[in-house]
């Protein structure tokens, strides 16, 4: 999970994230998106707190992946290596 924190803080611009005033940090999912995910879990019978948390975490990871994909294609991030099959990203502006 440290890699996720590093990506949020160093590679993804704040404009692509949501400010969470309760946590005092930028996050990948808005409060409304999180509520929608929780409601979808409940509609599908997923009510155990750890399972709901797992779905919300997965959705946040997917959103980060989508942002990285978009920013890779537009040239604002680059792949600077691999961790197994997972690409490791860095901001292109860090090189200047």
Predicted structure pTM score: 0.81
Tens-digit pLDDT profile for residues 21-73: 988 888 999 999 999 999 999 999 999 999 999 999 999 999 999 999 999 99
Q: Give me the DSSP letters along 27-82.
A: ESS-HHHHHHHHHHHHHTT---HHHHHHHHHHHHHHHHHHHHHHHHHHTSEEEEEE
Q: Give residue 36's domain range.
A: 2-95
Domain count across the chain:
1
């Amino acid at each position: 999970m440290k890699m996720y924190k590093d990506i949020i803080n160093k590679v993804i611009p704040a404009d692509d994230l949501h400010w969470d005033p309760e946590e005092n940090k930028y996050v990948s999912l808005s409060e409304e998106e999180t509520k929608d995910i929780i409601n979808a879990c409940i509609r599908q019978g997923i009510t155990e707190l750890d399972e709901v948390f797992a779905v919300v975490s997965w959705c946040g990871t997917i959103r980060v992946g989508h942002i990285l994909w978009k920013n890779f294609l537009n040239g604002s991030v680059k792949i600077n290596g691999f961790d197994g099959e997972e690409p490791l990203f860095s901001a292109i502006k860090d090189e200047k």
